[in-house]
Amino acid sequence: MVTWRKSLILGMLALALTGCHRPTEQGQQYKDGKLKQDLIEVTSPNTQGTPINGPDYLQQVSQINQTSSRLYNSNKETYQAVENWLRSGADTRQLRQFNLSAFQMEGVDKYGNVQFTGYYTPVLEARLTKQGEFQYPLYKMPANSRSKLPSRAAIYNGALSPSLIAAYSNSIMDNFMMEVQGSGYVDFGDGKPLTFFGYAGKNGHPYRSIGKVLIDNGEVERKDMSMLAIRDWADKHNDAEVRKLLEENPSFVFFKPEPFTPVRGASAIPLVALASVASDRSIIPAGTVLLAEIPVLDNTGNFTGEYQMRLMVALDVGGAIKGHHFDIYHGIGKDAGHMAGFYNHYGRVWVLKKSQLNLLNPSS
């Protein structure tokens, strides 16, 4: 994996173009020829248009500045250079004029195609006591969390103390989806502000994708796999069958109930919808600025053949987010979850970094 160095490569590397191919249904483009390393510096991104979310990006950087002086200061020069570029029209051909270097990610196929999925913050209905349809426990983190904890199946079978139960929801699948998202809001139905259930930790067992289980079992076609496909499958099966599927993933997430608070990622920064992503930090460290060309989907999740450019910041992580793969934060609630659930598509990404050499004034 590539690591950041204090001195950036000064020589610009040219990308050999192999011609444009028609994008696939998932937006794979294969435009840029085979790339020879994780991140390759380019003269300017091979893309058209300007970022559509400038105000949201600036709001996200403002949240970083207000919340984490350490993270902000370590990326301050890049943030300021990107802001200057953005306010001057955001022409990708002029990045160097604003002392910015662009590094294209080679993607999952080494042809520049980076994978995008989506996540969101769910809102669950729950009660403090077990009653009626509210039968499915949400657990707090056990005190002895340093040792390996019971598997998901064991937890479902009552392996943990009832004193750890923070609430009972009306859907075991909703609980699981909140685990996948890492946090969520809970509505106790009492008219009071929503309670935030933040991520508190895991049981230490390996994560196994239930989506892959459904694909391997022939239940869902690989091309159709998404969070919504998993939900659709669950809606057509009884509780015992759904539970059996979920137990295929032994990993289990615990939560920490707290008063209503903004949604925060692993960097403890409030997240702005469609301006932040979860990344693999061995490649993309927290605070990194990304220029992303993202496939546009219609309201039924189909790729329209068009792309949008967005500026985003890596502020979160995810157990399934490895390599050249980003999880885009879509916001709070059902509508956000609807669109997030569609995404398993490909676009292109350039990492933006402040150049050490002042290209506007080389003698400085």
Q: What is the pLDDT of residues 117-140, one digit of tens each?
A: 999 999 999 999 999 999 999 999
pLDDT at position 14, please? 30
Question: Per-residue pLDDT for 8 more than 80?
Answer: no
Cβ pair 96, 20 in contact under 8 A: no
Q: Which residue type does 183 have? A: S
Higher pLDDT, 210 or 5: 210
Burial track 34-67 (b if 16+ CB lie within 10 A, e otherwise): ebeebbbbbeebbbeeebebbebbbebbebbeee
CA 266 from chain centre, in angstroms, equals 11
Give the count of alpha carbons within 13 A of 327, CB side only. 26
pLDDT at position 5, please? 32
- The model carries a pTM of 0.79
Structure confidence at residue 34 as a pLDDT band (50, 70, 90):
confident
Q: What span, in angstroms and rounded, lies between the C-alpha atoms of 331 and 121?
A: 6
Long-range pairs for 163-166: beta carbons < 8 A, 24 or more residues apart: 164/139, 164/140, 164/254, 165/137, 165/138, 165/139, 165/140, 166/137, 166/138, 166/139, 166/140, 166/197, 166/255, 166/257
Q: Strand 184-187 relative to strand 136-139: parallel, antiparallel, unpaired?
A: unpaired
Query: H helices within 200-348, ranges in order?
Result: 210-216, 227-235, 239-246, 334-342
Lowest mean pLDDT among 107-111, 178-182, 212-216, 317-321: 317-321
Question: Per-residue pLDDT for 206 more than 80?
Answer: yes
Higher pLDDT, 164 or 180: 164
Q: What span, in angstroms and rounded, lies between the C-alpha atoms of 130 and 138?
A: 11
pLDDT more than 70, % of the chain:
91
Question: Per-residue pLDDT for 87 more than 50?
Answer: yes
Query: H helices within the chain, ranges in order?
Result: 54-67, 69-87, 152-156, 172-181, 210-216, 227-235, 239-246, 334-342
Strands, sheet with 184-187, edge to edge from the N-terminal-most edge strand: 136-139, 165-169, 123-127, 184-187, 195-202, 253-258
Written as one string, the DSSP assignment of 94-121 is GGGGGTEEEEEE-BTTSSSBEEEEEEEE
pLDDT at position 359, please? 44
Provide the β-strand partners of residue 119: 329
pLDDT at position 55, please? 97
Lowest mean pLDDT among 4-8, 64-68, 88-92, 301-305: 4-8
Mean pLDDT of the chain: 89
pLDDT at position 12, please? 31
Question: Per-residue pLDDT for 40 more than 60?
Answer: yes
Question: Per-residue pLDDT for 304 more than 70?
Answer: yes
What are the E-state strand segments in 317-362? 325-332, 344-354
Question: Per-residue pLDDT for 348 more than 50?
Answer: yes
pLDDT more than 90, % of the chain:
74
The tokens of 362 are what?
Answer: 């080389």
The tokens of 320 are what?
Answer: 């399934």
Structure confidence at residue 224 as a pLDDT band (50, 70, 90):
confident
Q: What span, in angstroms and rounded, lies between the C-alpha atoms of 310 and 90?
A: 11
Q: Which residue has the tokens 């239930």?
A: 210
Structure confidence at residue 6 as a pLDDT band (50, 70, 90):
very low
pLDDT at position 4, please? 36
Structure confidence at residue 327 as a pLDDT band (50, 70, 90):
very high
pLDDT at position 32, please? 83
Question: Per-residue pLDDT for 146 more than 90?
Answer: no
DSSP state for residue 150 in the 8-state scheme: P
Can you tell me the mean pLDDT for 288-311? 95
Long-range pairs for 74-81: beta carbons < 8 A, 24 or more residues apart: 74/287, 75/287, 75/288, 75/289, 77/354, 78/289, 78/352, 78/353, 78/354, 79/289, 80/354, 81/354
Can you tell me the mean pLDDT for 77-81? 98
Can you tell me the mean pLDDT for 321-343? 93
Among 311, 287, 276, residue whose Cα is nearest residue 49: 311
pLDDT at position 145, please? 67
